[in-house]
Amino acid sequence: MEAVQRKPVQVDLSLEDAIRGRRSVHYFAPGARVRDDQWAKLFELTALSPSSFNFQPWDFVVVDDQARKEQLLPLCWGQKQVVDSAAVVAVLGDKNPHRRDAQVLQQFQDNGYIDEQTRNAYMGAVDVVYPDEARKIEHAVGGASLAAMTFMLAAHGMGLATLPMIGFDPVGVRALLKVPDEYLITMLIAVGESADRDLPRQQRRPYDDIVHWEVFGGSRKTVYLESAS
Ligand SMILES: Cc1cc2nc3c(=O)[nH]c(=O)nc-3n(C[C@H](O)[C@H](O)[C@H](O)COP(=O)(O)O)c2cc1C
């Protein structure tokens, strides 16, 4: 049997090194496990992600049972990372996190952010911030995506490899993982040990292409000249 190759891992990275070193890993070393103490740390760090009103519109379904991962495989376009990784984590975006508004706003008051009057005024006000289905979806996807990024960076910092995946059948995965309708499956993330077979990172769009100054399409030079005149 071919020996499983594992990528040497470096932990306790600087934040910049973690950001630079994280990759979407497509080749996992089969048979690796993520220990419970690693899961605990991973989700403790993930939970520190920011969210609107601190509503924390994220939940996670961790699938590390091999038989269930085999069931996931055909629902994920046959992507082999699903069965070779140690686990697949479904990152759920909660469309209705304000079911916890009493608790969340009480924390704001207890921690000295707002007084009782403001707390009472805010109760139910989330319906103003998220008035319709589209805004609820934006909030759920935005919040869950920030948590997903924290998760991937934290995992990398702990020597674990990840792959975010949108290539799956949302209806089938929802049924298999028993995800209620109020939650969106924002993405799946395979987690495990890298087999160190991935190709180099692909190019990124350059600074001038992605950064607009002051207004969309504005360049740094334009802004400078305008403000100098
Ligand atoms: C939301 C999201 C969904 C993705 N879905 C898949 C996927 O289904 N299959 C896959 O092989 N890669 C997937 N990727 C990985 C991207 O191809 C990868 O992030 C991109 O090419 C940049 O590579 P890097 O993460 O190594 O820098 C996904 C990435 C993101 C952020």
Domain presence at residue 208: no
Phi/psi for 195 (5° steps) reads: -85, 5
Ligand 1 pocket: which of 72, 92, 149, 166 to mutate (most atoms within 8 A of CB): 166
Q: Which residue, judged by its Cα, is nearest atom 6 of ligand 1? A: 165
Domain presence at residue 115: yes
What percentage of the chain carries pLDDT values higher than 90?
83
Site of tokens 């399409």: 217
| Cα-based distances in Å from 59 to 5, 84, 115, 132, 184 | 33, 23, 29, 21, 10
Ligand 1 pocket: which of 20, 22, 23, 24 to mutate (most atoms within 8 A of CB): 24
* pTM score, whole prediction: 0.93
Q: Which residue, judged by its Cα, is nearest atom 29 of ligand 1? A: 164
- The number of angstroms, rounded, from the C-alpha of 1 to the middle of its chain's C-alpha atoms is 36
pLDDT at 161 over 70: yes
Does 41 contact ligand 1 (Cβ within 6 A)? no
Domain presence at residue 212: no
Site of tokens 């008051």: 109
- AA letter at 68: R
* Mean pLDDT to the nearest integer, 148-162: 97
Domain presence at residue 197: yes
97-102: long-range contacts, CB 8 A cutoff, minimum separation 24: 97/51, 97/55, 97/56, 97/57, 97/139, 97/140, 97/143, 98/53, 98/55, 98/126, 98/127, 98/130, 100/55, 101/55, 101/126
Whole-angstrom distance, CA of residue 38 vs CA of residue 161 = 13
**Number of independent structural domains in the chain:** 1
Domain presence at residue 215: no
Question: 108 is in which domain, residue-wise?
Answer: 15-202
DSSP H or E segment with residue 184? strand 183-192
The CATH number assigned to the domain holding 114 equals 3.40.109.10
Domain presence at residue 31: yes
pLDDT at 8: 77
Q: What is the mean pLDDT of the chain?
A: 93
Domain presence at residue 32: yes
pLDDT at 2: 62
pLDDT at 108 over 80: yes
| pLDDT tens digits, 49-101 | 999 989 999 999 999 999 999 999 999 999 999 999 999 999 999 999 989 98
